[in-house]
Structure 1
Amino acid sequence: MTDAPEAKITHSRPHQVGRPSAARSRILTTADRLFYEEGIRSVGVHRVVDESAVTRVTLYRHFPSKDDLVVAYLQNRAAANEAAITAMLAEHAGDPRAGLRGMAEMVAAGGFADEHNGCAFINASAEHLDRSHPARAVATRHRKWIIDRTADLLRELGHPTPEAMAQILMMLRTGAVVGASLDDSPGIETNFLRAWDALVATI
């Protein structure tokens, strides 16, 4: 049995300044695992409370509603992904082609192992069809961030339409992630990288 739906919020709770508490970290770690593995709507707040070993009062002190917790879960995933991409691009500074290849390899690593249940942001958006929901805003912003970084690299390579090609590469990435979560295809990583390289090679 899941909790009753939370009232929709219009603004997410601001990021906590300074070092987060151990309880907040446990709550987010638990929510990340449960929301991604089982789905946001199928996991009630009581389940997060139980598996985080905190009280409901503690959870609601940090996250006033389930929507706040969902937004924080997605923001954490986005921040971690963006930090990893930024670090990888720093290693390939001055070599945009290597940076583009690195972006593809990161998502495809281990046969899309980190995306075995699909894209967390697409999944969250599918569970929240209201386009004004704050979870969708996080997903949209993160996808735009990836597209913008891809366009930056394409622009550095001298591509005539970097924004359009970045959108195409994002569509390829999205399709591959969804396909990897649905199909039992051992060659999907190789095929994705081959298609990515073919598109980049047209520059």
Structure 2
Amino acid sequence: MLLTADRLFYEEGIHAVGVQRIIAESSVTRVTLYRHFPSKDDLIAAYLDRRATADHAQVDAIIDAHRDDPRRALSELAAVLTRDDFAAVRRGCPFINASAEFTGSHAARVRAREIRRWVTARLEELLRLLDHRDPRAAAQQLMMVRTGAVVSGALDDNGHLNEDFLHCWEQLIDDGLPSELRR
């Protein structure tokens, strides 16, 4: 049922999908759904937690694979977006989408902020290891570029999205590095 909720929430929007539809498409009873998720908000939180867990695993695996080369880790994080994620997020970032449907301190907004903060912190750690001039600002800017690229992938007809994104990503990193570490 969580896989069904994930698919429907992402493809159609959280508000547009009712619990009854998830029950029907999951072939579970209402009692079963509510036993696992006492409210729709609990189901929304589980959906976003599932997405965040996958993102954590992906980012951590890339960083771990390039533990001795933070520059390569940063480049690979961008390359994975172009290889895998842009196609997978054809409707935009699930965290941004969920956040846009809710206001204030709703779990969707809280989880969106948490995952974005976590990814930004990981980028900043890598930039610090490279003695980047301003790792905090560069990490924030890299996250903005990533967000913009995901939105562009969902909305624009940019046949050069991958190249444009990778160029911008690498330039933001290089601009704060000592010359011997630049690409």
TM-score normalised by length of structure 2: 0.93
Shift in Å at residue 160 of structure 1?
A: 2.4
Alignment of 1:20-39 (within 5 A): 27-39=1-13
CA contact (8 A) 1:111 1:186 kept: no
- Aligned match for 1:145, one of 88, 112, 118: 118
Q: Structure 1's 134 and 110: CA in aligned 2 closer, same or farther, altered over 3 A?
A: closer
Provide, for residues 23-53 of structure 1, a one-character-per-residue CA deviation record: whole Å limited to 9, x for no partner: xxxx111011100011111111011101111
Which secondary structure does the structure 2 equivalent of 1:131 belong to?
Answer: coil
- Runs of 5+ unmatched residues, structure 1: 1-26
Higher relative contact order (CA 8 A, sep 6+): 1
Shift in Å at residue 64 of structure 1?
A: 0.7
Which secondary structure does the structure 2 equivalent of 1:160 belong to?
Answer: coil
In structure 2, what is the equivalent of residue 91 of structure 1?
65
In structure 1, what is the equivalent of residue 142 of structure 2?
169
Alignment of 1:177-188 (within 5 A): 177-188=150-161
Cα distance in 2 for partners of 1:169, 1:111 equals 16
- One-letter identity of the residue aligned with 1:157: L
**Higher relative helix content:** 2
Fraction of identical pairs, as percent = 52
- Runs of 5+ unmatched residues, structure 2: 178-183
Structure 1 segments, 4+ long, off by >4 Å, are none
CA contact (8 A) 1:151 1:163 kept: yes
CA contact (8 A) 1:111 1:188 kept: no
**Number of residue equivalences:** 176
CA contact (8 A) 1:107 1:114 kept: no
Of the structure 1 ranges 142-151 and 108-117, higher mean CA displacement relative to structure 2 is found in: 108-117
Shift in Å at residue 111 of structure 1?
A: 7.4
TM-score normalised by length of structure 1: 0.84
